[in-house]
Amino acid sequence: MSERPIGIFDSGVGGLTVLRALRKKLPSEDLIYFGDTARVPYGTKSPKTIIRYSIENTKLLKRFNVKMVIVACNTSSSYALEILKSEFSDVPILGVINPGARLAVSATKSGKVGVIGTEATIKSGAYRKAIHFINPSCLVFEKVCPLFVPLIEEGWLNDPVTLEVARRYVLPLLGKGIDTLVLGCTHYPLIKDILLKICKNVTLIDSAQAIADEVAKALPSKKESGKGNVKILVSDKTDRFEKIAKMIMGNKIEIEEVSIDKE
């Protein structure tokens, strides 16, 4: 069991922030990442489609005999996590919502927490429910940010256009007096520098680090030595994905295109 890899999936490049955090936290573990680049973004899809994609992605990772599956997509975590746990009960499956919510509750001093995410994630109310389950007295202010994922997938990580879009999204939340902002999409840490320009004196919650800490505790068995291998798979290999992936993970990575439908 300890020699088997950990599987991670996301709709595109965003989950690479989780892959990077896991690589740093668990350097001996073999990691397999799947980015569903042919069908990104998930945040505008219906719950039915999000669930179907999430099931197909999990089946793909299970081809590699993974010992755990990390749903490194807030949208999939919002709608599909419990279904995945039920359908694939033979392997532990973790999502990013609860670790991020716990981190936010522990960070806030005012009890006012902002959440930014895709349309689907915010509509699900997953973060609000998770935060209120931990601390019912917290005030949660949510904002749909539909342009962030396309801008990030385009590689506009430090572009003036992205900064202006971020101002329009985030300033209303700051006006509510939040002291903590949950980056409710694993793409969003890639524009953290831009968000920090706007969110002065606000703690940004990156669920990538939170999920890495959770995985370290929950792994059924660990590789205790050696340097783990990293495999990156995509449903559509594009120059854009490769450019951002190398920026996040380093220039030595290799990316392989795979078929989702293969049994």
pLDDT at position 30:
95
12 labeled binding residue = no
Q: What is the token pair recorded at 150?
A: 């396309």
How is residue 188 annotated by DSSP? G
pLDDT at position 222:
80
132 labeled binding residue = no
127 labeled binding residue = no
Torsion of CA 213, 142, 171, 99, to 10 degrees: 0
Q: Are 14 and 149 contacting, i.e. CB atoms less than 8 angstroms apart? A: yes
Q: Are 69 and 56 contacting, i.e. CB atoms less than 8 angstroms apart? A: no
Q: How far is CA 249 from the centre of its chain?
A: 15
**pTM for the predicted model, two decimal places:** 0.90
Could you give the residue ranges of the DSSP H alpha helices within 63-118?
Answer: 74-87, 97-107
Neighbours of 161 (CB within 10 A): 11
pLDDT at position 33:
98
pLDDT at position 220:
77
Domains annotated for the chain, with CATH where assigned, are 6-95+210-257 (3.40.50.1860), 97-207 (3.40.50.1860)
Q: Are 118 and 50 contacting, i.e. CB atoms less than 8 angstroms apart? A: no
30 labeled binding residue = no
11 labeled binding residue = yes
Catalytic residues: 73, 185
Summarised one tens digit per residue, pLDDT across range 237-256 is: 999 899 899 989 988 899 99
187 labeled binding residue = yes
pLDDT at position 113:
98
Peptide bond preceding 220 in cis form (omega within 30 of 0) = no
How is residue 37 annotated by DSSP? T
Low-confidence stretches of the chain (pLDDT beneath 70): 1, 262-263
Q: Which residue has the tokens 């716990």?
A: 102
